[in-house]
Amino acid sequence: MPEIKTLTVLGTGVLGSQIAYQAAFHGFAVTAYDLDDEALEKARARFAHLAGIYRAQKVAGVEEGQAEAALANLRLTADLGTAVANADLVIEAVPERIELKRDLYRKIADLAPAKTIFATNSSTLLPSDLKDFTGRPDHFLAIHYANNIWVQNIAEVMGTAETDPAVFDAVVDFARNSGLEPIEIKKEKAGYVLNSLLVPLLNAAAGLLLQGIASPETIDKTWRIATGAPSGPFQIYDVVGLGTAYNIAASSPDAGSQAFAKYLKDNYIDKGKLGISTGEGFYTY
Ligand code: NAD
C-alpha cells in the first residue's frame, strides 16, 4: 500500500484551508497552493484563524502548542510545479467548475511524479467526470470533507471503477491518521452518503414549510424529539448558510425548489439574514 506522508492541497478557500490545517495539525508536512500572493495572504489569515479555533475549542488530541506547531508544518506557494513535486497525495479543493478542475488536472498530470495520488474534494462532481484528465486514473479518487472539519470530522472516500484498491486503502488510512472518521464508499454515488441522506431531508422540510403544514420550530422539534438528533432541518439550514441553500434551490428546475428559492430571497437573503454567520436566519443567534 502506498505510504502518505506529504500532502499538497490545491486551493486554500473555505475547505482547502481546513483540509490543509487539519492534516498539518496531525503532523503531516503540508504544502498549500493558490493562484497568487494575494490568495496566499488570505490563506495565512485563514490558517491563523483556524489555529485560534482549534486552541479555543480544545480539538480532540490538542496539546499545549499543537495549534501553533501545525502552522510550522504548512508551506505556501503559488508555483504549481513546486507545490506537487514531492507530494504523496494531492487534494484538489478549487471552485466547483468542471472546466477549471479539468484544466488543473491536465497541468498536474505532467508536473507530479507518477507515484502521486490525486483526490478531489468536489461536492457535486463524480471522480469519473475528472479521472481521464489526471494521467493516472488508477491513482485518482474523491475524498470529501464536510465544512468545519474539526467538528464534522468525516472524510468520505470514493473511487471510480479504475481506482487501485491499494490507493483507496492508503487514502482511508490517511483520513484516519489526520483525525477524521473515514467513510468508505464502495460505488460512485452523486452526493456521497452524507448528502444522499441530508438533501432529501432538507427538501422535505422546505416542502412542509411552504405548504403551510408546520412552522420551522415545529418541524425541527419533531425531528429532534422523535429521532434523538441534536438539530432539526432548519437549524441545519442556518449552519449551511441560507446563501448556499438559495444557490442550490435557484439552480434546480424543479418548481418546489424555485418556490423555496424565492421564499429564501424575499424573507432572508434580501434582509441580510444568512444564518449563523450573520447572527440571524430561521433562528436568531
Ligand atoms: P472557495 O471558493 O472558498 O475556495 C476556492 C479556492 O481555490 C480559492 O482560494 C481560489 O483562489 C482557489 N482557486 C481558484 N482557481 C484556482 C486554480 N486554478 N488553482 C488553484 N486554486 C484556485 O471554495 P470551497 O468552498 O473551498 O470549495 C472548494 C471545493 O470544495 C469545491 O469543489 C466544493 O464542492 C468542495 N466542498 C466545499 C464545501 C463547503 O462547505 N464550502 C464542503 C465540501 C466540499
Nearest CA to ligand 1 atom 21: 11
Could you say which of 131, 166, 185 is where a domain stops? 185
Question: Do 78 and 111 fall within a single domain?
Answer: yes
Question: Do 174 and 223 fall within a single domain?
Answer: no
Residue 38 is placed in which grid cell?
A: 494575494
For the chain, helix (H) and strand (E) counts, in that order, are 11, 8
Identify the pLDDT of residue 69. 92
Identify the pLDDT of residue 64. 76
Is the pLDDT score of 62 beyond 80? no
pTM: 0.91
Q: Is residue 33 assigned to a domain?
A: yes
Place of cell 508551506: 75
Q: How does the average pLDDT of the chain come out, rounded?
A: 95
For 106-155, the pLDDT digits (tens) are 999 999 999 999 999 999 899 999 999 999 999 999 999 998 999 999 99
Question: Do 104 and 229 fall within a single domain?
Answer: no
pLDDT category of residue 99 using cuts at 50, 70 and 90: very high
Identify the pLDDT of residue 177. 97
Q: Is 35 in the pocket of ligand 1 (CB under 6 A)?
A: yes
Residue 127 Cα distances to 2, 140, 144, angstroms: 20, 8, 11
Question: Do 206 and 180 fall within a single domain?
Answer: no
Question: Do 98 and 141 fall within a single domain?
Answer: yes
Q: Is 34 in the pocket of ligand 1 (CB under 6 A)?
A: yes
Q: Is residue 162 assigned to a domain?
A: yes
Q: Is residue 133 assigned to a domain?
A: yes
Selection from 177, 102, 100, 85 nearest residue 140 by Cα: 102
131 contacts 155 by C-beta, under 8 angstroms: no
Is the pLDDT score of 60 beyond 70? no
Could you say which of 137, 161, 185 is where a domain stops? 185
The three-state secondary structure class of 63 is coil
- Give rounded-to-5 percent helix, strand, coil for the chain: 50, 15, 35
Q: How many domains does the chain have?
A: 2
Question: Do 229 and 173 fall within a single domain?
Answer: no
Burial label for 8, CB within 10 Å (0-12, 13-18, 19+), is buried
Q: What is the mean pLDDT of residues 23-48?
A: 97
The Cα–Cα gap between 83 and 228 comes to 45
Question: Do 34 and 108 fall within a single domain?
Answer: yes
Question: Do 85 and 215 fall within a single domain?
Answer: no
Select from 14, 46, 183 the residue to mutate for testing ligand 1; criterion: most ligand atoms less than 8 Å from CB.
Answer: 14
Domain containing residue 209: CATH number: 1.10.1040.10
9 contacts 19 by C-beta, under 8 angstroms: yes
Q: Is residue 202 assigned to a domain?
A: yes
For 243-283, the pLDDT digits (tens) are 989 988 998 899 999 999 999 999 999 999 999 989 999 99
Q: What is the mean pLDDT of residues 21-25?
A: 97
Q: Is residue 203 assigned to a domain?
A: yes
Q: What is the DSSP letter of 115?
A: T
The Cα–Cα gap between 227 and 7 comes to 39
Selection from 86, 85, 242, 83 nearest residue 94 by Cα: 83
Question: Do 151 and 61 fall within a single domain?
Answer: yes
Is the pLDDT score of 72 beyond 80? yes
Question: Do 33 and 160 fall within a single domain?
Answer: yes
Q: Is residue 22 assigned to a domain?
A: yes
Distance (Å) from CA 97 to ligand 1 centroid: 9
The three-state secondary structure class of 225 is helix
Identify the pLDDT of residue 65. 85
Residue 182 is placed in which grid cell?
A: 473515514
Identify the pLDDT of residue 284. 98
Question: Do 171 and 202 fall within a single domain?
Answer: no
Distance (Å) from CA 92 to ligand 1 centroid: 8
| Domain enclosing residue 55, as ranges | 6-185
Identify the pLDDT of residue 61. 64
Domain containing residue 37: CATH number: 3.40.50.720
Q: Is residue 206 assigned to a domain?
A: yes
Q: Is residue 190 assigned to a domain?
A: no
Place of cell 491563523: 48
Q: Is 121 in the pocket of ligand 1 (CB under 6 A)?
A: yes
Question: Do 180 and 260 fall within a single domain?
Answer: no
Distance (Å) from CA 15 to ligand 1 centroid: 6
The Cα–Cα gap between 251 and 198 comes to 18
